[in-house]
Amino acid sequence: MIQDPPVALEPLYELDDDAIEQRIHNAKERLGSRCVILGHHYQREEVYRFADLTGDSLKLSRLATERKEAEYIVFCGVHFMAEVADMLSARNQTAILPDMAAGCSMADMADLPSVESAWEQLGKVIDVETRVTPITYVNSTASLKAFCGEHGGIVCTSSNAKKVMEWAFEQREKTLFFPDQHLGRNTGHSLGVPLDEMVIWKPTEPMGGLTEEQINKAKVILWDGFCSVHQIFTPEDVDLFRERKPGIQISVHPESRLEVCIKADHMGSTEQIQSVVRDSPPGSKWAIGTEFNLVNRLKHEMPEKEIHFLSTTVCMCSTMFRIDPQHLLWTLENLLEGHVVNAITVPPRETELAKTALERMLAIVV
Ligand code: 13P
Ligand code: SF4
> Model confidence over 220-255: pLDDT tens digits?
999 999 999 999 999 999 999 999 999 999 999 999
Q: Contact 199/222 with Cβ under 8 angstroms?
A: yes
| Amino acid at position 46, single letter | E
**CATH code of the domain covering residue 160:** 3.40.50
Find the 229 Cα to ligand 2 centroid distance in Å.
7
* CA 19 – CA 16 distance, rounded (Å): 5
* Ligand 2 atom nearest to 318, measured from its CA: 3
Q: How confident is the model at residue 1 (pLDDT cuts 50, 70, 90)?
A: low
The larger pLDDT score, comparing residue 66 to residue 196, is at 196
Q: Contact 228/241 with Cβ under 8 angstroms?
A: no
Q: What is the pLDDT of residues 83-100, one digit of tens each?
A: 999 999 999 999 999 999
* CA 166 – CA 153 distance, rounded (Å): 12
Q: What is the largest CA-CA distance in the chain?
A: 64
Is the domain of 133 the same as that of 76?
Answer: no
For the chain, what percent of residues have pLDDT higher than 70?
A: 99
Q: Edge-to-edge strands of the sheet including 174-178?
A: 154-156, 132-137, 174-178, 220-223, 198-201
Is the domain of 204 the same as that of 123?
Answer: yes
Find the Cα–Cα–Cα–Cα dihedral 55, 141, 145, 258, rounded to 10°: -70
pLDDT over 80 (residue 2): no
Number of domain units in the chain: 3
**CATH code of the domain covering residue 26:** 3.40.50.10800
| 115 assigned to some structural domain | yes
66-70, 182-186, 271-275, 298-302: range with lowest mean pLDDT: 66-70
Is the domain of 62 the same as that of 158?
Answer: no
Is the domain of 236 the same as that of 220?
Answer: no
* Ligand 2 atom nearest to 317, measured from its CA: 3
Is the domain of 79 the same as that of 20?
Answer: yes
The response to whether residue 186 sits with its C-beta less than 6 Å from ligand 1 reads no
* CA 333 – CA 113 distance, rounded (Å): 39
State how beta strands 94-96 and 132-137 pair.
Answer: unpaired
pLDDT (average), residues 196-200: 98
* Structural domain containing residue 300: 230-309
Is the domain of 248 the same as that of 140?
Answer: no
**Helical spans, DSSP H, in 32-141:** 45-48, 57-64, 79-88, 112-122, 128-131
Nearest C-alpha neighbor of 155 from the set 171, 172, 141: 141
pLDDT over 80 (residue 3): no
Q: What is the mean pLDDT of the chain?
A: 97
Q: How confident is the model at residue 56 (pLDDT cuts 50, 70, 90)?
A: very high
The response to whether residue 272 sits with its C-beta less than 6 Å from ligand 1 reads no
State yes or no: cis peptide before 325, omega within 30 of 0.
no
Q: What is the pLDDT of residues 114-125, one digit of tens each?
A: 999 999 999 999
Q: Edge-to-edge strands of the sheet including 72-76?
A: 53-55, 35-40, 72-76, 94-96, 343-344
| 5 assigned to some structural domain | no
pTM: 0.96
| 354 assigned to some structural domain | no
pLDDT (average), residues 40-63: 95
Of 203, 227, 251, the one marking the end of a domain is 227
Q: How confident is the model at residue 65 (pLDDT cuts 50, 70, 90)?
A: confident
Q: What is the pLDDT of residues 96-116, one digit of tens each?
A: 999 999 999 999 999 999 999
The response to whether residue 139 sits with its C-beta less than 6 Å from ligand 2 reads yes
Find the 10 Cα to ligand 2 centroid distance in Å.
27
pLDDT over 90 (residue 179): yes
The response to whether residue 138 sits with its C-beta less than 6 Å from ligand 2 reads no
pLDDT over 90 (residue 331): yes
Evaluate the CA torsion angle 283, 284, 289, 294 in order and state its sign: negative
pLDDT (average), residues 9-22: 98
Q: What is the pLDDT of residues 138-176, one digit of tens each?
A: 999 999 999 999 999 999 999 999 999 999 999 999 999
| 220 assigned to some structural domain | yes
pLDDT (average), residues 188-211: 98
- The ligand whose atoms approach the alpha carbon of 77 most closely is 2
